[in-house]
Structure 1
Amino acid sequence: MEDVTLHITDREGKKHSVLAPTDMAMNIMEVIRSYELAPEGTIGICGGMAMCASCQCYVNSDNEINAMEDEEDAMLSEAFNVKDNSRLSCQIPITDALHNLEIELAPEV
């Protein structure tokens, strides 16, 4: 599969279905930025290094996602609005397993 469909709910509650390429080594945060689903400067402030939590999202489907690394876990332990299904979208690479993934962007802090 070359592209997967992601279902992303933005911070205003609007749902977007977007295509994401699996062959470009992108992550979810980069897809959100490329489709401008969050205002410029409010997501991925650290550039995708798991150092700011501005790209926190809630995973609302049961797709198989890569395991959380220590850096991401540490950042989420200090973030606001964290839920059991919180992840940093910069730490989730686009793969075939994400087809029809449903996420919601966490509120901006």
Structure 2
Amino acid sequence: MSLEDITEVRVYVEDAPGQRTELVAPTDMSLSLMEVMKASGYDIQATCGGMALCGTCHVEVLAGPELPEPGDDEMAMLESLPIMSSGSRLSCQIRITSRLDGLVVRLMPQNA
């Protein structure tokens, strides 16, 4: 089976050290990781609606496949946040594709 044949992926959200919740996401709906996390009950404000303008969907990538580099808008927003790590990403800018299977992220706090 090739990557293109995969219809859903498993992404893991680390809620506390050693505690991971599995989220199953379809690859054929062009969803973002933010949308999948919100639909799964995570408290993400997403006040900008996924436009990389507010930073309220900030996650830290802990493990998994390599992601495409952040775009200029995403980098500008990440650099303005009070907390940033080398794995920081905006979940609204991560599209659910077959290549994301096994990704592990942690929702970052909004305040320093």
Amino acid at match of 1:16: T
**Alignment TM-score, normalising by the size of structure 2:** 0.87
Tell me the SS of whatever aligns to 1:60.
Answer: strand
Tell me the SS of whatever aligns to 2:24.
Answer: strand
2:70 corresponds in structure 1 to 68
Question: Over aligned residues, Cα RMSD in angstroms?
Answer: 1.2
Which of 22, 45, 58 is matched with 1:17 structurally?
22
Amino acid at match of 2:57: C
Q: How does 1:28-47 map to 2 (within 5 A)?
A: 28-38=33-43, 42-47=44-49
Shift in CA distance, 32/85, structure 1 to aligned 2, threshold 3 Å: same
Structure 2 residue runs of 5 or longer lacking an equivalent are 1-5
**Alignment TM-score, normalising by the size of structure 1:** 0.89
- Map Cα deviations across residues 2-41 of structure 1 (whole Å, 9 max, x no partner): 110000124xx25210101100000100000000122xxx
Residue identity (%):
36
Runs of 4+ in 1 over 6 A off after TM superposition: none
Deviation, structure 1 residue 47: 0.6
Whichever of the two has the greater Rg, that structure is: 2
Deviation, structure 1 residue 50: 0.1
Deviation, structure 1 residue 66: 2.0
